[in-house]
Structures are given as C-alpha cells and as structure tokens.
Amino acid sequence: MQMTKSNVTRLLAVAGFAAAGSTFAATPDEQSGAPAGYQGIGLRDVQVAPFDAFNGAATPGSGPFAMPDTVTNPAPTGQGLGALDRTAVVQAETTGELTKQQQGLVAQIDAAWQTGDFETGRDFMAQLDATGFDGSLTYAYTDTDIQPSGKAFDDVFAGERRIGGARIGIVSFDLDSAPNDNLFAVTGWGDTWTFNISTNGGSTWHETFTFGANSPDVDLAYINGFVYVGYSSAGEGRMRRFDPATGAVDGGYFFHTVFTPGVGDSVAEIAVESNEDNFQNRIYWTCLTANGIIEYFFDDSADGTTFGTVSTGIVDGVGPLDFHWNQDFTNGSTPFLVMSHRNAAGDAVVTANTGAWASTVVASATGVGNDVNISAYQDTIIVAYETAPAPADAIYHISYNGGTSYNIGTGIFPAPSLNYFNLDVSAALGYGTAMIAGEEVGEPDPVRFVQRPTYAPGAWPNQVGNTNQTDLQTGNDMVIEALPIGGSVTARYGVIHVTNDGGTFPVFDRVEDTAGCIGDIADDFGFLGSDGMVSFGDFLALLGLIGPCPGGIPGCTGDIADDFGFLGGDGMVSFGDFLALLGLIGPCP
C-alpha cells in the first residue's frame, strides 16, 4: 500500500510465530501464506533492454477513457476537535491507566455524543484535557447517513468525489477494495485520521470512524473479511480493523500494538499490505522509524494479534516508502513482497522479499527526487520517481525478470511543462502498468494518468490529460489503486488526491470506465455497434482507424497486434489488427 511523503482460520501452527517484536527465521511459505507445493507462473521471455519507452506518449484524451460519469456527491463536513457532529460511541485509547476522574469524563463525553449533545461533550473534553490526559479519543459513528454538502462534479473522464470534509494539513491517505464491491479509504491530517467506506463504487463516501489524536501516518489493507488499519500513537505502531460490509470498527479487536521502537526513536511512516490477491491469509505491517530503520511484521490475517518479524536490514531509510504484494509470484525466484524507498545517500532503492529481504539500488542519488513508488505483478516490478531538481520529469525503472535487471523509461507524460510531482504507479491485477502524476502549470493544476495494457516494453497508449475537475493542491501525495471490476465498481483504477476547491478536500476519482476492453473499439469511442463485447461492430470501428498511430507511436487504440505483441504488429492500424481482433471475439473479461 501507498505510504506518504513526510501504505484464514486461526493462527497457523507455524514454528517461530512469536510475540510482536521478536525475530526468527521464518520460511518463505510461512511469510507468504502459500500452500504446500505452490510454484507460480515462472519467468516469461520478455525483452530486457536499456530503454523501455522514451517520449512515447499518445495524444492526450485518446483511448477508452471518454466515458460520462454523472453520479452526485453527498459528503460530510468535519467539525470540532477532529470529530463530526454525529452520534457516536466514544472510547479512550491510551498506553497507561486512566484515573477515576478521567474514566468518568470519558463516560460523560460518550454519553453526550451518543445523545447528540455535542456542546456538552466538548465541555467535558476541555475538562479531560485539563487533567493531563495523554491519549486519544475515538468516535465510532452510530447514525446511518451523512447530510450532503459540497459540490457535485461531472466530467467526461471521471467523477470527482469528496471523501469527508475540509481538512488542514493532509499528510496521508490510502485506498483499497473488497470482493463485495465496497471501497475503503483512510485519511490522515494534523493529529487525526478517519475511516471511510463507499458501497456504490466511489460515488459517495461515509465516514464511519475518527481517531482523535497523535497519528502522523495511516494506511490500510483488505484481507478476507477484515479491513486492517495501521497507525501510530504515543510513538508506537498499532493496528485496528473494520467490518468491510458496514465500515464499523471491530470493538472486540480494539487495538493491538505491533511495534514499539527503542528509546530515542519513534514510528514516522506506516504501510499495511495483505496477500488477498492470492491466498487470503496474511496481513503485513511495515514502518519507517525516525532513525531510518525499516521494520517488517506479518501475521495470520484471521488473528492479527501475534506478529512475527524478519529483519529488512535497512537502517538508513528515508521516506517516502511504498509497499506491495506481488500477485502470482514464482516461489523462490520472484518476490512476494516489494518495497521502495530512498536511502540516506538519496538513491532509489527496491527491497524485495523471496523469504529474506534483499535491496537493490535502481537509481543513484543524482536526479532522484521525491515520491519513489513501486508496484509488481508476477515477474514484473516497476518503480517510479520524479527527477530532481525541478522542473521534474517522471522516470520509471521496470524489471521483467523479478528484479534481476531493469529497463528505464521516461517521457511518458506529455510535454511541454516537464514539471511533474507526486507520482504513483500500479502494476496490479493483470491490467498492465499505470501511472499518475500532478503537473505544475498554474491553476488549475491537472492530475495526469497514463496506462499501458501489457507487461512488455513499448509505448503507453492510453492517456488522460486531466482526471481532476478542480485545482490539484501542489505538494500533497496521490494514490492510484487497481480495483477488481464487478458490481458497482466499473473502473479499473481509483485515484485519491487533494483539491483546493473551497477548502482542502481529499477526493476520489475513478479512471477508465470499462464498458469495453482491448478490442472493444466500438465501445471505446461510443461508435454504432457498441455492445460491451468484442464483436462484428468492432471490425467496422477498426475500419475508421486504419492508418498510422498518432505521431507514429506504436500501440494506439486499434493497434491490437502491437498491444499484445501478435504477428502483424507494425506500429499502425492495419490488416494485422483484424487478425488480432479475431482472437479476442467474445465478452469482455
């Protein structure tokens, strides 16, 4: 899961699972959760070359993205000490024991919030602060609806939807999804974080929980019936979990401390990940400490209370960090977990786990800017960053052999500004590779999106010049997440960024509506013959695209032979693409 600038049954009888903070020699299968005998797909025979793509972007606005999105946007406005004026159960989270006076004040705050007497509740809060209370108040909201506020957005590419109310000093957020089509987001700002759920594909969001203090970073991951949230409080790393159907906090689980740093150190950044895309039985928690140490923990996801740990060997880490599961890895030869960060020298580093962690410097400090981010799928690992000093381009390094060697790519976003920032990248779910970046051009600043529907070198043919409808706040992080299509989730990617529209708001965009798929050209353009599948109408649509790709770039919409590396690939839309289309006839995936 993305980290910020500053993401089965009961516990298995595995030798070595021990109390949180202990180190032991865990086998690869114990960490990955893979069943006995799991092998994976093996390495593919993919071109390894110095350059992967260079100045290879298609014309902005081309491809299967011009799909209307007209859903409205109810969203809450945050009020008062990090909590909404909504009925809630209030609890105190603290490392020490509460005095009787403090226990009584917390009970009175809880009673006031449950009955909607928020002013009285705030009076009791002031009294609690006066006692020297050193902890956090949490709010588990009990109402079922949120009054709409703010503004509805409508755009040909995506609908921009607010997540919660106006925030000051947003520092972190993350996005994930569950098989029941629900989406989840956490947002951290100041000393507060909130949990949010959408049950309609991101069209509206409900804030179900607020953590009231002292958490500079937050991250989440869905796994087999739970949404785990990692955060920090009182300097230590903790975990909570939520119901993916309702967004309700798990009161029985309460919170668990995963990691307590040494004297003089504290948790600075947190990332949470799971193996949901393969085995549905592991939850992972990592952090970067203020002293530059990267810690890693894992547990059976049905338990989430007794974490094992394996040393990463990293003691000179610099944020931001990014952390991801590698779906369909090959046991023993490609990693099941990957993370990226900068080291103290400023190098871009990939650290991968095939059973033990090993680090590779993919780019030297010269030219490496902020926002080093990573993703992986099978034998493909991609890491991207902005160049330094500004004006900044987007550089990516990509491996097609599990990290043994890397190609380099650049120029995939359009000129002329070459002033890109806050990158994020996705290679998940078999969709190919996708990247987002903010562009500093003067208000309104756009969020750029590019995507390549393969795991092979070549151009990035699918491009949206501007996914946002309001000014992007420069300097805030952005997140892209591959989403499993189904039910109310109709787009392959979700994006969260921060807007400046009448306040500082985190907003959700869904990018690339999927009425069609590769080969479903009639749907891509809304031509006559569109039917949500690859059929005869697409042959008619292909006729209208015959000729060179824009700018002579291979891999444009309609150049299906090049998209898949089929016989007949020639960098233009021609007869070879009719042959390729024959192999795709049928319903879209």
Distance, CA of 250 to CA of 140 (rounded, Å)? 10
| CA 455-458-462 angle, 5° bins | 80
Q: Which residue has the higher pLDDT, 245 or 527?
A: 245
Q: Could you tell me the sign of the dihedral formed by the alpha carbons of 303, 307, 310, 312, in that order?
A: positive
pLDDT in the model for residue 553: 42
pLDDT in the model for residue 31: 94
Neighbours of 555 (CB within 10 A): 24
- Among 555, 546, 553, which Cα is nearest to 518's? 555
| Tens-digit pLDDT profile for residues 492-532 | 888 888 876 666 778 888 776 544 566 777 766 555 566 66
Distance, CA of 76 to CA of 549 (rounded, Å)? 45
The H-or-E segment that residue 114 falls in is helix 100-115
Percentage with pLDDT > 90 across the chain:
29
Note the maximum CA span of the chain.
81
| CA 107-108-111 angle, 5° bins | 85
| Tens-digit pLDDT profile for residues 269-280 | 999 999 999 999
pLDDT in the model for residue 454: 78
Q: Which residue has the higher pLDDT, 391 or 29?
A: 29
Rounded to the nearest integer, the mean pLDDT of the chain is: 76
Average pLDDT over residues 391-413: 86
Q: Which residues pair with 409 in a beta bridge?
A: 53, 396
| Tens-digit pLDDT profile for residues 11-36 | 222 323 333 444 445 788 899 999 98
Percentage with pLDDT > 70 across the chain:
71
pLDDT in the model for residue 18: 37
pLDDT at 251 over 80: yes
Distance, CA of 312 to CA of 356 (rounded, Å)? 8
Q: Are 440 and 417 in contact (CB under 8 A)?
A: yes
**Which range among 97-106, 167-176, 270-279, 494-503 has the greatest average pLDDT?**
270-279
- pLDDT band of residue 265 (cuts 50, 70, 90) is very high
For residue 571, which amino acid is it?
A: G
Distance, CA of 277 to CA of 499 (rounded, Å)? 31
Instruction: Please provide residue 399's backbone torsions phi and psi, each rounded to the nearest 5 degrees.
Output: -110, 135
Distance, CA of 520 to CA of 149 (rounded, Å)? 38
For residue 316, which amino acid is it?
A: D
pLDDT at 93 over 80: yes
pLDDT in the model for residue 250: 93
pLDDT in the model for residue 432: 87
pLDDT in the model for residue 296: 97
Q: Which of 371-375, 425-429, 517-521, 539-543 has the lowest mean pLDDT?
A: 517-521
The H-or-E segment that residue 55 falls in is none
Collapse the DSSP code of 140 into the 3-class scheme (helix H, G, I; strand E, B; otherwise coil) and give the result. strand
Q: Are 512 and 66 in contact (CB under 8 A)?
A: no
Q: Annotate 292-319 with b (16+ C-beta within 10 A) or e (fewer).
A: bbbbbbbbbbbbbeebbbbebebeebbb
Whether pTM exceeds 0.85: no
Q: Which residue has the higher pLDDT, 192 or 289?
A: 289
Distance, CA of 29 to CA of 50 (rounded, Å)? 34
pLDDT at 65 over 90: no
pLDDT in the model for residue 264: 92
Write the secondary structure of 360-421 as one string of H (helix), E (strand) and C (coil). Answer: EEEECCCCECCCCEEEEECCEEEEEEEECCCCCCEEEEEECCCCCCCEEEECCCCCCCCCEE
Distance, CA of 237 to CA of 254 (rounded, Å)? 14
pLDDT at 476 over 90: no
Residue written as tokens 């203090």?
Answer: 213
Query: How many residues are given for the chain?
Result: 589
- Among 260, 298, 256, 257, which Cα is nearest to 279's? 298
| CA 386-425-427 angle, 5° bins | 145
- Among 566, 589, 449, 585, which Cα is nearest to 516's? 589
pLDDT in the model for residue 170: 53
Q: Are 176 and 170 in contact (CB under 8 A)?
A: no
